C-alpha cells in the first residue's frame, strides 16, 4: 500500500544518499535518516599537498571523499609514514562522532585535486541528540570499523616478524 504522506526524494537526493551509504558509518541509515545530514554537507576543494587536518587536532568534522585521493599518514620525528590512500566514497575523521577526541593521524590531499564533503561535529551531535536511532546505528557502524581495524592490526603484527608495518592495519574494509 502506498503512503501519500511519506516523504519522497528526487533523483539527486537519492544519488547523494547512495553515495553516503557506501561509507561504513552511513551504511545502516535510511533515506529519511540521511536527509538529516544532507543540508549540512559542505563541499570543500583541496589541492595536492594541502593538509586537511594534522595529528592531535581536535576532531571537529567528519569527511566523505567525493572525488580524488586523500592520504592518511603519521609523522615520526621528521618523517611521514603513509598509512592508507583513500578514494571516492571513503570516509575519514570518523572519530568526530565521538566527543572530546583528537586526530590520531594527518590527512593530506594526495591527488592533484580532491572534493571532500565535510560534516561538522556539532551537527552530528545535534542530530544524535534529536534521534537516538541514528546515533545507535552510527555507533554500531563505528564499533564495526574499530573491530575490523583491530583485527587488521593484530594480523599485520603477527605477519611482520619484528618489522611491523602500521599501514597494513589500514587495509580496505
Block means of pLDDT (10 residues each) for the chain, 173 residues, are: 71 94 94 96 97 96 97 89 92 94 96 98 97 97 89 76 61 55
Q: What is the residue extent of each domain of the chain? A: 11-160
pLDDT of residue 167: 61
pLDDT of residue 168: 58
pLDDT of residue 42: 97
Q: How far apart are CA 156 and CA 172, in angstroms?
A: 13
Architecture of 11-160 per CATH? Sandwich (2.60)
| Cell reading at 45 | 576543494
pLDDT of residue 163: 63
pTM metric for this prediction: 0.84
Amino acid at each position: 500500500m502506498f503512503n501519500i504522506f511519506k516523504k519522497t526524494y528526487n533523483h539527486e537526493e537519492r544519488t547523494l544518499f547512495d553515495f553516503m551509504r557506501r561509507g561504513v558509518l552511513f551504511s545502516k541509515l535510511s533515506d529519511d535518516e540521511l536527509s538529516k545530514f544532507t543540508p549540512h554537507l559542505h563541499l570543500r576543494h583541496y589541492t595536492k599537498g594541502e593538509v586537511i587536518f594534522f595529528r592531535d587536532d581536535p576532531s571537529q568534522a567528519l569527511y566523505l571523499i567525493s572525488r580524488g585521493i586523500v592520504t592518511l599518514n603519521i609523522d615520526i620525528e621528521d618523517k611521514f609514514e603513509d598509512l592508507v590512500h583513500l578514494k571516492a566514497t571513503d570516509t575519514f575523521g570518523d572519530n568526530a562522532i565521538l566527543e572530546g577526541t583528537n586526530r590520531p593521524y594527518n590527512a593530506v590531499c594526495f591527488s592533484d585535486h580532491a572534493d571532500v564533503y565535510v560534516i561538522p561535529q556539532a551537527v552530528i551531535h545535534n542530530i544524535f541528540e534529536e534521534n537516538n536511532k541514528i546515533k545507535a546505528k552510527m555507533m554500531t557502524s563505528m564499533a564495526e570499523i574499530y573491530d575490523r581495524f583491530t583485527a587488521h592490526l593484530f594480523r599485520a603484527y603477527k605477519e611482520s616478524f619484528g618489522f611491523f608495518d602500521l599501514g597494513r592495519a589500514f587495509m580496505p574494509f
